[in-house]
Structure 1
Amino acid sequence: MSGTAVHRGKSLRLLQGLAQACHPLPSLAVTTVAVLLGLGGGLDGPRTVLLGGAVLTGQLSIGWSNDWIDAARDRATGRADKPLATGGVPVRAVAAAAVVAALTTVVLSLLLGWFPGVVLLLGVAGGWAYNLGLKATVFSGAAYLFAFAALTIGVHAAGRGEPWPPWWVPVVGALLGFGAHFANVLPDLRADAETGVRGLPHRLGPRAGVIVMATALAGASVVLGLAPAGASAVYSAVVVTAGIALAAATTTAAIRAPHSAIAFRLTVAIALLDVVLLITVTA
């Protein structure tokens, strides 16, 4: 094999490792929701691209910093899904990627204007604070509450030129973020416990954690059903009923079988409902 082929193979493995270490699905999901909210808020094409770049690089910086900071912990627990734990990518490469992404999101965010830029960056700072130690405390959910609320405020300010959205928009964002925190952590409770990480979901346990997650998402449904101005009685009744019914079904499933995938899938259904409604009612 030629030297060029070897170099290409190493480069490809490095790119694959970086792609896996950035937490691609959450990063793309958050960016997609932000872009759709921005479009609904009146962003034109260039500013939509700028917003997407700012949010995506911020999420990439959070994802890469998470795996960078947790590298030793992931190796200790034998995390086969983590390229840093398996040696698939060097720690220094992920660290460099996290720093470059963080610097890039600072530039792109501030290009949107000082107020939306600062608010979006505060949300990114919340994600880094979580990675740097908040995740192992009872206040672990606070980082998600803050970061997702900041995201909705920053997107609104970037799109409409108004600093503050209606009060219920960041409230829904915070509740969705809180639910996302539990959804992200619950599958890793045992591995985290082995290395001393005890955030709020760990302290509550799988059964109570699923119930809290479903309750937060149902709360977002209730707010989305009742708070928007001009919402019809039929809309409010359907949204509130659907959110509460799904939460009740999730709670029942969690009590009966806390480790079953059914409860988690029901919470995903509530989250999708809330995200679609948030995008729709803010357009």
Structure 2
Amino acid sequence: MSRRVSALIKASHPEPAVAVTAVAALLAWGVGHRPVGIILVALTIAATQLAVGWTNDWLDADRDRQVGRADKPVPAGAVSHRTVGVAGLVAAAATPLLAAPTGVPAAACITGALLSALAYNWPLKFTVVSVLPYAVSFGALPAFVVLALPGAPAPPAWLVAAGALLGAGAHFANVLPDLADDARTGVHGLPHRLGATGSGLAAAGLLAAATVTLVAGPPGPPSWAGLAAVAGTVLILATGWYVARRAATDGTRPNAVFRAVMLVAVIDVVLLVASGPVA
């Protein structure tokens, strides 16, 4: 693999891209998609993630240079600004095309989710409503997966609510490592207004609420496994917060909370898969 291709992949934010795509594929399996449907869902979600990641680095290139982000491929000169922008445009255009075989309702849903995510990249990340695109886009993701089933059944409200809560929590956690750099370049989204402590508490509360919704939302009483998942979520988030605080005192980038978010997302998907088809 050439250095340029490797740098382009890195500019796509591969860690969250792979995580969200894997979550969507597992979710598709859990709600009853056949193999072809799972592949279509995974490819569509992968395209949205690539579009959002590349567009983010394309828009943020000047800001990243200002704060010396040598770990970012564009400011480091590993890949050109134009290449990343074109890649983001191609991925965005591919999303509705990949989603088309899933039906009009599903394709419209995921296209709206992509537009919402792109609106976060610009201009909403700079505003007090910066959390809104995350809630909308992550709430739309499970809705898309269910709508893509034959007959386009309506997604359960608890499933959409859990996705929205997870997305909102992910926003606060994702911004935590960059609060100082963002403040230097004029980004004043909701997490920046709340500060590190407020954002950490918001992330923990929203993610815990997402897990509780997945445990209590499906018909029937919560299982012991579900209750154990709630307890595990609290433990994981508390550990992530503690490690992040220690990292902050050492002067390193506190990515532990974000990784805790990804682990909680896996727990939530396991809960959903264990509950069986939802439509």
Q: 42-51 vs 29-38, which deviates more?
A: 42-51
Contact 2:240 2:260 in 1 (8 A): no
* Partner in structure 1 of residue 215 of structure 2: 225
Structure 2 unaligned segments of length 5 or more: list them: none
Contact 1:214 1:250 in 2 (8 A): no
Q: 81-90 vs 272-281, which deviates more?
A: 272-281
Distance 1:213 1:150 in 2: 19
Per-residue deviation, residues 77-133 of structure 1 (Å, max 9, x unmatched)? 110111111111111111110111111112011221100011011111111000011
Runs of 4+ in structure 1 deviating by more than 2 angstroms, as ranges, are 159-163, 230-247, 249-276, 278-283
10, 13, 16: which one aligns with 1:23: 13
31, 55, 59: which one aligns with 2:49: 59
TM-score (norm 2): 0.88
Instruction: Look up the equivalent residue of 2:16 and give its one-letter code.
Output: P
27, 40, 50: which one aligns with 2:30: 40
* Residue 245 of structure 2 corresponds to residue 259 of structure 1: no
Q: 122-131 vs 37-46, which deviates more?
A: 37-46
Contact 2:216 2:222 in 1 (8 A): no
* Partner in structure 1 of residue 270 of structure 2: 276
* Partner in structure 2 of residue 8 of structure 1: none
* Partner in structure 1 of residue 146 of structure 2: 156
Per-residue deviation, residues 179-219 of structure 1 (Å, max 9, x unmatched)? 11122111011111110001111111111111110000111
200, 216, 238: which one aligns with 2:190: 200
213, 227, 230: which one aligns with 2:203: 213
* Partner in structure 2 of residue 3 of structure 1: none
* Residue 80 of structure 2 corresponds to residue 90 of structure 1: yes
Structure with greater Cα Rg: 1
Structure 1 unaligned segments of length 5 or more: list them: 1-10
Shift of the alpha carbon at 1:73?
0.8
- Report percent identity of matched pairs: 41
| CA 241–52 in structure 1, closer or farther in 2 if over 3 Å, else same | closer
Distance 1:161 1:274 in 2: 26
| CA 217–160 in structure 1, closer or farther in 2 if over 3 Å, else same | farther
Equivalence map 1:88-167=2 (5 Å): 88-159=78-149, 161-167=151-157
Aligned residues: 272
Distance 2:85 2:144 in 1: 27
Per-residue deviation, residues 144-164 of structure 1 (Å, max 9, x unmatched)? 000000011000111353332
Q: For residue 2 of structure 2, give the secondary structure of its aligned residue in structure 1.
A: helix
Contact 1:253 1:262 in 2 (8 A): no
| CA 262–91 in structure 1, closer or farther in 2 if over 3 Å, else same | closer
Shift of the alpha carbon at 1:28?
0.9
Contact 1:222 1:243 in 2 (8 A): no
Contact 2:50 2:88 in 1 (8 A): yes
Shift of the alpha carbon at 1:281?
2.2
Distance 1:126 1:262 in 2: 25
Q: Which has the higher contact order (CA 8 A, sep 6+)?
A: 2
* Partner in structure 1 of residue 163 of structure 2: 173
Shift of the alpha carbon at 1:282?
4.6
Distance 2:213 2:84 in 1: 39
Distance 1:170 1:108 in 2: 22
Equivalence map 1:236-255=2 (5 Å): 237-243=227-233, 249=238, 253=242
Instruction: Look up the equivalent residue of 1:28 and give its one-letter code.
Output: V
* Partner in structure 2 of residue 5 of structure 1: none
Shift of the alpha carbon at 1:246?
5.5
Q: For residue 248 of structure 2, give the secondary structure of its aligned residue in structure 1.
A: coil
TM-score (norm 1): 0.87
Q: For residue 124 of structure 1, give the secondary structure of its aligned residue in structure 2.
A: helix
61, 79, 83: which one aligns with 2:69: 79
